[in-house]
Structure 1
Amino acid sequence: MNTTPPTYYHGTRADLKIGDLIEVGFTSNYGTQRKSKYIYLSATLEAATWGAELAFGDGKERIYIVELTGSIEDDPNLTDKKFPGNPTKSYRSQHPFKVVGEVEKWQGHSPEQLKTMKDHLQKLREQGIEAIED
């Protein structure tokens, strides 16, 4: 039986340091940029890559390795609506995540893939559908 805990990632444009806490109550990286009720993470580098690439702001795209300080739940924005069974291993929490490292080298999506995703998100916004629903 594998008892090694999963590695969790958080994609963002925030400039954080080892030991910093990522907490609820800050402006969301997505959607209408309201104060977040949840913070999001993934156990896959792929989902964290999308998080970094799609985050608002002009800062450097970053993927942090984070440690849990409390419970997590499946991210209903993805699992219930797009990927039943949570194959993206995307989660959310109201408990802080502690930054324990940064993924220095990672491969972003192609410009075409990124444009397709941004166009899709724009169409959803035009339809009044939020990317993140708390």
Structure 2
Amino acid sequence: MTDAPDEGPFFHGTKAELKPGDLLTPGFRSNYRPEIVMNHIYFTALRDGAGLAAEIAAVDTEPHVYEVEPTGPFENDPNVTDKKFPGNPTRSYRSAAPLRVVREITDWTRLTPQALQTWRDRLEAIRNDERGEILN
């Protein structure tokens, strides 16, 4: 059972190359704060939101967006829900249980080079600001 009011479909953006049936699990370093090992796996109901996450990840490889299925309970992502935005307009979630890859999504909106640089600059500012913590 989940307290998140969303039925999906759900998406995960990453630089990893995956195939249907693969499981995404917590326990790996954050794409945005590599010094942090993540206790949760994050996902969204917005395909372009997953694309944004894939594009701004620290790894310098091609971004991918996957449709995913949660295999266990999930909750609203506390890093954005009510902390940065009232409610959950980004439809962002997290789970301690794995996500199963359903298929790769290719029709998501890519960032312009200028927008990508703006996001990378924002992430760098967060990394340098101790108040930019990740609720893990």
Classify the secondary structure of the residue corresponding to 1:79: coil
Q: Which of 57, 67, 71 lines up with 1:65 in the alignment?
A: 67
Structure with the higher fraction of residues in helix conformation: 1
Measure how far apart 1:79 and its partner are: 1.3
Gapped regions of structure 2 (runs ≥ 5): 1-5
More off after superposition, 116-125 vs 66-75: 116-125
- Rounded to whole Å, the distance in 2 between the matches of 1:44 and 1:38 is 18
Match of 1:107 in 2: 109
- Rounded to whole Å, the distance in 2 between the matches of 1:22 and 1:106 is 20
Q: Which amino acid aligns with 1:79?
A: T
**Structure 1-normalised TM-score?**
0.88
- Rounded to whole Å, the distance in 1 between the matches of 2:58 and 2:129 is 20
Measure how far apart 1:33 and its partner are: 4.2
Q: Which amino acid aligns with 2:30?
A: S
Query: Aligned-pair RMSD on alpha carbons?
Result: 1.7
Match of 1:43 in 2: 45
The count of corresponding residues between Structure 1 and Structure 2 is 131
| Counterpart contact for 2:32–2:123, Cα < 8 Å | no
Match of 1:80 in 2: 82
Identity %: 44
Gapped regions of structure 1 (runs ≥ 5): none
Measure how far apart 1:26 and its partner are: 1.9
Match of 1:116 in 2: 118
Match of 1:94 in 2: 96
- Rounded to whole Å, the distance in 2 between the matches of 1:73 and 1:15 is 26
